[in-house]
Amino acid sequence: MAEEISLNVNDRKLIEISQALGIGLNLEEMHKVRDYFYSEKRNPRDIELQAIGQAWSEHCSYKSSKSILKKFIFGIKAKQNLLVIEEDAGVVDFNKDYAYVVALESHNHPSAIEPYGGAATGIGGILRDVVCMGAKPIALVDPLFFGDLNFDYKKLPKGVKHPKFIQNGVISGIRDYGNRVGIPTVAGMVYYDVSYLTNCLVNVGCIGIVRKNRIISSKISKKGKKGDVFLLLGGRTGRDGIHGVTFASTQLNEKSEKEDRSAVQVGNPIIKEPLIHVCLEAVEKNLVKAMKDLGGGGLSCCVDEMAYPNFGAVVNLENVLLKERDMKPWEIWVSESQERMMMLLDRKKVDKVTDICDLWDIEYSIIGEITEDKRIKVNYHGKTILDMDIKFLVEPPVYNRPYTIRNLKEGEKETKEPIYEKTILEILSSPNIRSKAFVIQQYDHEVGARTVTKPLQGKIESLTHSDSVIIKPLSKEYKGMAIAVDSNPSLMKISPYWGAKYIMDEVCRNIVSSGAEPHSFADCLNFGNPEKPERMGEFYEACKGLGEFAKALGVPFVSGNVSFYNESEYYSVIPTPVVLGIGIIDDIRKSIRTDFKRNGDLIYLIGDIKKEMAGSEYYKLYGYDFGYIPKCDPDELKNKIKAILEVKKIIKACHDVSNGGLVVTVCEMMIGGNIGASLDLSKIEMRTDYKLFSESSCFVCEIRERDFEEFEEIMKKNKVKFHRIGRVSGSRLKIIDKEKSIILSLREIKEAFS
């Protein structure tokens, strides 16, 4: 039964209570809790303190980030009159009858402790976020960030797993869960840096599709009424995942590997697949008033967030189906065991829903009902063990933490020109450029038969990376969605503000390269300890860059996540905002691919290469820590987007210039087409290495020679700079730059890339 705890103690004892219970509340918050229970004229019980700890955790409450998100990210108006619903996932107009649903989350700490289970349950959670809006999941994405795979085992900090072990576990967990539940993993990225050694980043996203008249809210609307019941269905509740959100809201340390393992949930995709069917069938039959998944904070946060602000709730905890005996009431209340969903039902419709559960062999139990008193009450075997004002629970303190903004230090220095052939091959084979086919090919990216353009494109025997993947959500319509995900830690390390703008620019370029128009964004903001002013400054600047760029484009953020405390005593992660971009293409048959198509076609560079080498793969290769960072302009990008979409009917291949610069872009296009290219860069006034390796915001396009006049006319009309730089030809890369000549065979390029 619940234990009563006195808070009539000194400050040192208050902190000891917080630590002993594992609730992660600081002294100021413990004072607020004590004041609340003074006003209630009683002592709290352990289950009540545990509930507050979950609801007030950084992971659930966004108490350090909310004020900055409101300032820069929330409320960006779309240039079109879009339906945008922001709850567990964003819901956005697709056509007059359907909406798409998008969510992006982090599962960083669990994956650092138990890579396979942490990543797998990340996929499980993001699927539930989409399902609880009434949507059918149709695609998954997985941006991943690991430490240096060549890190010396002997130098690993105590309690830290080697990046190779973490990478293998994470990829296997995503593969096994996604493949078994039958949802394709279509997009993502893999990035390596030593800063992720003690805190890998495992971000996962999901896209779903739903008829607009079947959208379900996770909050109980005013149409709910006293006596409507909570039906808990899916997996049973166990001790796995206890304190998951408080664990995610603190730094990892050398004891985390052992002490926090119980905070990692245990997934079961074999239950998830029929559970999705049950939820969608109940929604289709109009049986559900509200629905929410049990993720962070378990039953505690789920019931609170569903009922607030219109209702209260009473829960009979003994009705919860358990995995194991002798669980304490507070453990049942805050457990984050996986594969669980909560529905609010009219009591008269319960039998119809439970019949569906029986058909799919899904367990269920009625655990409570809504009330009108706006309090949360939990009973256990006839005794009330939790009785609190719901507003106090779900409206925690919000902080305006101090922040410092570092000055951007830029400047170019004279360097020797490299041996170009050697440098190109070294960049192509570097960890953050080389082929990620070893990851992509483990995932089933075609299950469901919606994936039109794939994450690997080109000829069967010669595949290259795509810029974005296009899916066809509806069987009877050719309208499609382009999905791209991006981050750029190298630039974020130098300038969180300009790095964030570059990420926005690049995710848009990825979408446009496939022939689609940017439509919405979701973000996952991965940062270090927000209690440190320099980390908070990085967060502030990144949000400012993201928000300004999105506002200028008129494309909103419809969903997102903040993950703080990705830091240990050894390393803090590079500030790593990840942006998931969704584009709309009216006809998937008019999409563009990355690979070169035909001998003799012209190659154009769209945009201007600049001396923007800071953070480039080229400068990293040679250890240069200077240069100018790319400074992306949303107005210039809008012109490029307009021009490319206007001329896309004659574009045979398109690829954006990003990591590695122009030469890597061209090499990747060659690999996909299994064909060579001849470039002449003599008319671009700049040193050769700047031309080849600068990562300025540009595109490379392949055009039939007969179409060049139309192409150039549309570029000029839209005030977009362009250069004709060569032709598709032969079986090698040949680059002429005035007196210089660089030649590499296609075979050498493929071997380096793979």
Q: Which tens digits make up the pLDDT trace of 452-509? A: 999 999 998 899 999 999 999 999 999 999 999 999 999 999 999 999 999 999 999 9
Residue 3 belongs to a domain: no
Q: What is the CATH number of the domain that holds 638?
A: 3.90.650.10
Residue 457 belongs to a domain: no
The whole model's pTM is what? 0.96
Place of tokens 């959100």: 245
Q: Determine the structural domain holding residue 732 and report its residue range.
A: 595-754
Once rounded to an integer, what is the mean pLDDT over residues 127-144?
96
Query: Read out DSSP for 662-684?
Result: HHHHHHHHHHHHT--EEEE-TTS
Integer Rg of the chain from CA: 27
Query: What pLDDT score was predicted for residue 121?
Result: 93
Report residue 150's pLDDT band, with 50, 70 and 90 as the boundaries.
very high
Nearest residue to 526 via CA among 565, 497, 491, 493: 565
Angle at 510 between CA 428 and CA 598, to 5 degrees: 65
- Is 687 in a helix, a strand, or coil? coil
Q: Which two tokens stand for residue 692?
A: 């080849």
Residues 650 and 642: their CA atoms lie apart, in Å, by 14
Query: What pLDDT score was predicted for residue 376?
Result: 97
Query: What pLDDT score was predicted for residue 606?
Result: 98
Number of domains forming the structure of the chain: 2
Query: Which of 69-83, 255-269, 403-417 tops mean pLDDT?
Result: 403-417
Once rounded to an integer, what is the mean pLDDT over residues 597-608?
97
Report residue 200's pLDDT band, with 50, 70 and 90 as the boundaries.
very high
Residue 296 belongs to a domain: no
% the chain with pLDDT above 70:
96
Query: What pLDDT score was predicted for residue 629?
Result: 97
Residues 6+ apart with CB under 8 A from 431: 148, 149, 192
Active site residue ranges: 59, 107
Residue 418, phi then psi, degrees to nearest 5: -85, 175
Residue 639 belongs to a domain: yes
Residue 496 belongs to a domain: no
Residue 243 belongs to a domain: no
Residue 271 belongs to a domain: no
Place of tokens 């490029």: 640
Residue 731 belongs to a domain: yes
Q: Which tens digits make up the pLDDT trace of 157-191? A: 988 999 999 999 999 999 999 999 999 999 999 99
DSSP strands (E only) in 87-132: 90-93, 98-106
| Strand order through the sheet with 98-106 | 84-86, 90-93, 98-106, 201-211, 136-146, 185-192
Residues 646 and 642: their CA atoms lie apart, in Å, by 6
Query: What pLDDT score was predicted for residue 686?
Result: 94
Higher pLDDT, residue 447 or 724:
724
Residue 3, phi then psi, degrees to nearest 5: -100, 135
The answer to whether 322 and 238 are in contact (CB under 8 A) is: yes
- Is 103 in a helix, a strand, or coil? strand
Query: What pLDDT score was predicted for residue 241?
Result: 75
Q: Which helix (H) or strand (E) holds 544?
A: helix 533-553
